[in-house]
Amino acid sequence: MLPDRKKQAAEIIKRLKKEYPDAHCALDHTNAFELLIATILSAQCTDERVNIVTATLFRKYPTPQDFINVSQSELEKDIHSTGFFRNKAKNIKAACRRIVEVFGGEVPQTMEDLLSLGGVARKTANVVLGNAFGIASGVVVDTHVSRLSQRLGLTAEKTPEKIERDLQELVPRRHWVMFPHWLITHGRRVCNARKPLCTQCTLADICPSRLEP
């Protein structure tokens, strides 16, 4: 089964790379710190909404120290529209405090250190390491990546951690950073959750979940 899945993964990569040469991280950022904050805010929230919020947020609070100095209540108001704002504000302040006190004001560049920050789990750490530092530490697994990996026959697992392990086995490490971007772009444009556009899909002939027209 594994060799077949590896062949499937290789063909998917080949086609999506050609189909979406413009695929990229959808969260607006100019540095690792902004990407970290944006990714924390993106939990249970659309990237579009996060980008609207951070357009103002990053001008107001350009450094970790700025987030430490602001009151919890004011930060909650600033990020209210992203949802779960109380917990996100708490995590952001905790992460910034540790960045300043432990890491000299710089976002750390290892999985272990990133996981020590408030509000940071593997997905967020992978996003920051891959997109801000070019470090392929793992494969980002969000709702699009989960759905498409299952539909395309790359995994039968349900949890992000187990899906990531399967994808790391199938996807060459040099593609770990871009593979999620290709899947996410495809998931948004073609293979959406409720009504996938199978007749327009470049992967239709190799997809075990395709719907007949």
- Looking at the annotation, which residues are catalytic? 123, 142
- Contacts of residues 18-25 at CB distance under 8 Å and 24 or more positions apart, as own/partner, are 19/182, 19/186, 19/202, 20/181, 20/182, 20/185, 20/186, 22/185, 23/178, 23/181, 23/182, 23/184, 23/185, 24/181, 25/127, 25/131, 25/181
- Identify whether the C-beta of residue 29 lies closer than 8 Å to the C-beta of residue 132: yes
Residue 59 CB neighbour total at 10 angstroms: 8
Cα-atom radius of gyration of the chain, to the nearest Å? 18
> Where in the chain does DSSP place strands (E)?
none
Cα dist from 66 to 36, 59, 180, whole Å: 15, 10, 32
- CA separation for the pair 61, 92 (Å, rounded): 12
- Identify whether the C-beta of residue 8 lies closer than 8 Å to the C-beta of residue 153: yes
